[in-house]
Amino acid sequence: MILAHETVGAGLPVAFVHGFTQTRGSWAPLLAVPLSVEATLIDAPGHGRSVDGARSLPQCGDDIAETMRTGVLVGYSMGARMALHAALAHPAKVTGLVLISGTAGIEDAGERQSRRAADDALADRIEEIGTDAFIDEWLANPMFSGLSPAMAMRDERLRNSPRGLADSLRHAGTGTQEDLWPRLSGLSVPTLVITGAHDAKFTGIGERMHKAIAGSTHAQVEGAGHTVHLEATAGTARILLDWLLRRQR
């Protein structure tokens, strides 16, 4: 399924997939820094104008691969999990992979089931209180404490519907993700892992992913938490641009 998207700029083809409750517009601050790329900004299933959120993570990966041009794929958080699925299933389409604050899944089956139950309960909560109230609750999460009101881009998040967000959680939440850790050693595309230095949990996950993916790079961004590209936009852009330029040499 081809997802809602737009393409801006010229240069190396790079596709971008946002995090939960965001839209393709969330990449605007990063793209305001000249990257010299042809950026395809994708609305993930259940977000923005990609209204069908009832897509599993493997289906999301297939949708992203179908939507993007052959080239580099960048994903943040939820988008990183989707991007990882796309890269594993479509190595000919995804020629480079950038995972920002991502994970390869929950290994313990019991923990995974508990997380799925929590995701389902949160989906019910979204449908109960609506997007407006839920976004306020979501942004109050300590994980996003480093976001300024401007970079939180609340109005952009309000473009999402309760049904789309709820379906995304039920079908593609972390609790639904299979344990991909054993498959990381088979990932053959050049990979950059980016985490915020203030995000201890995902920095630890990122370092472990880096060690599991042959030839990968792990970059920590100082002064940033989970939402690295919005909390430290210039630093993230510099790391991404340097990595892209090295790939072209």
Count CB-CB contacts under 10 A for residue 94: 25
Q: What are phi and psi of 146, to 5 degrees?
A: -80, -5
Give the CB-side neighbour count of residue 112, counting CA atoms within 13 A.
13
Q: How far apart are CA 228 and CA 221, in angstroms?
A: 7
Regions in the chain scoring below 50 on pLDDT:
none
Structural domain of 80: 5-248
**Antiparallel, parallel or unpaired: β 94-100 and 71-76:** parallel
To which H or E segment does residue 220 belong? strand 217-221
Give the CB-side neighbour count of residue 98, counting CA atoms within 13 A.
26
Give the pLDDT of residue 128: 98
Give the pLDDT of residue 247: 75
Domain CATH for 204: 3.40.50.1820
Per DSSP, the chain holds a count of helices (H) and strands (E) of: 10, 7
Count CB-CB contacts under 10 A for residue 98: 26
- 8 Å CB contact between 37 and 12: yes
Give the pLDDT of residue 246: 84
- Average pLDDT for the chain: 96
Structural domains counted in the chain: 1
Q: What are phi and psi of 14, to 5 degrees?
A: -135, 125
List Cα–Cα distances, 92 to 32, 60, 79, 98, 101, in angstroms: 29, 17, 19, 16, 24
Please give the model's pTM, rounded to 2 decimal places: 0.97
Spatial neighbors of 169 by CB under 8 A, at least 6 apart, are: 20, 119, 120, 122, 123, 126
AA identity, residue 157? R
